[in-house]
Copies of this chain bind each other. A is one copy, B any other.
């Protein structure tokens, strides 16, 4: 029987996407579901909702204070290095555009995890071209052509389209898990609920998913 596939929507500026990225593969394996990583941009989603484009953790002070403590606790549980990036949020568009290319190239997941580790573990400035180039090169990739393609008009338009797709699914924050039958689960802490839903509703999933 096919493993159900769940889409994992993430945004590089999103703090809770970081622990999610570093546990999603293990949890998916345990549940027996396949995961498709989907990068998108949260800023345009906030803007379309009439909210400030800035992180809600900046314009909602008490919620922001809680988030830093909460993510630190979560990362400690996962033995994951964590330090709040400065500035926060980090400009994430360049990394998102590169990750989009990686989804085709088969290196998207490794790239995404390396970006998250650089940003939230090592305090690197992921908005800088040199930082992204360094990450690509450490993955054995040719950074120059990738960065050129990532920042070309076609790929920029593609990220906008993907972000529209996310909005159409009901996405308003990150990370998210969307099952084949369209159920949306928001938040690192709902990962397990999404996988359980996918298994319980597997008869609705399209055929041909990984694991056939």
B189 touches A63 (CB 8 A): no
15 of the cross-chain contacts (CB-CB < 8 Å) are A45-B62, A49-B60, A49-B61, A49-B62, A51-B60, A62-B167, A62-B171, A63-B173, A66-B172, A66-B186, A69-B184, A70-B186, A187-B189, A189-B189, A189-B190
Name the contact of A170 in the complex, choosing from B45, B65, B184, B186 (C-beta under 8 A): B65
Measured CA separation A178–B91 after assembly (Å): 34
Beyond known contacts A49-B61, A65-B170, A189-B189: 18 more, CB 8 A cutoff: A45-B62, A49-B60, A49-B62, A51-B60, A60-B172, A62-B167, A62-B170, A62-B171, A62-B172, A63-B173, A66-B170, A66-B186, A69-B184, A70-B185, A70-B186, A73-B193, A187-B189, A189-B190
Most buried by B among A62, A65, A170, A173: A62
When distances are taken between beta carbons in the complex, the residues of chain B under 8 Å from A63 are 172-173
Measured CA separation A198–B184 after assembly (Å): 31
* A58: min CB distance to chain B, Å: 12
When distances are taken between beta carbons in the complex, the residues of chain B under 8 Å from A173 are 63
A interface: dominant SS: helix
When distances are taken between beta carbons in the complex, the residues of chain B under 8 Å from A49 are 60-62
Chain A contact-residue range equals: 20 to 34
* A132: min CB distance to chain B, Å: 30
A88-122, CB under 8 A of B: which get 1 and which 0? 00000000000000000000000000000000000
* A210: min CB distance to chain B, Å: 26
Measured CA separation A193–B71 after assembly (Å): 13
* A13: min CB distance to chain B, Å: 18
When distances are taken between beta carbons in the complex, the residues of chain B under 8 Å from A66 are 170, 172, 184, 186
When distances are taken between beta carbons in the complex, the residues of chain B under 8 Å from A65 are 170
**Which residues of chain A from 37 to 76 have any CB-CB distance to chain B below 8 Å in the complex?**
45, 49, 51, 60-63, 65-66, 69-70, 73
* A163: min CB distance to chain B, Å: 13
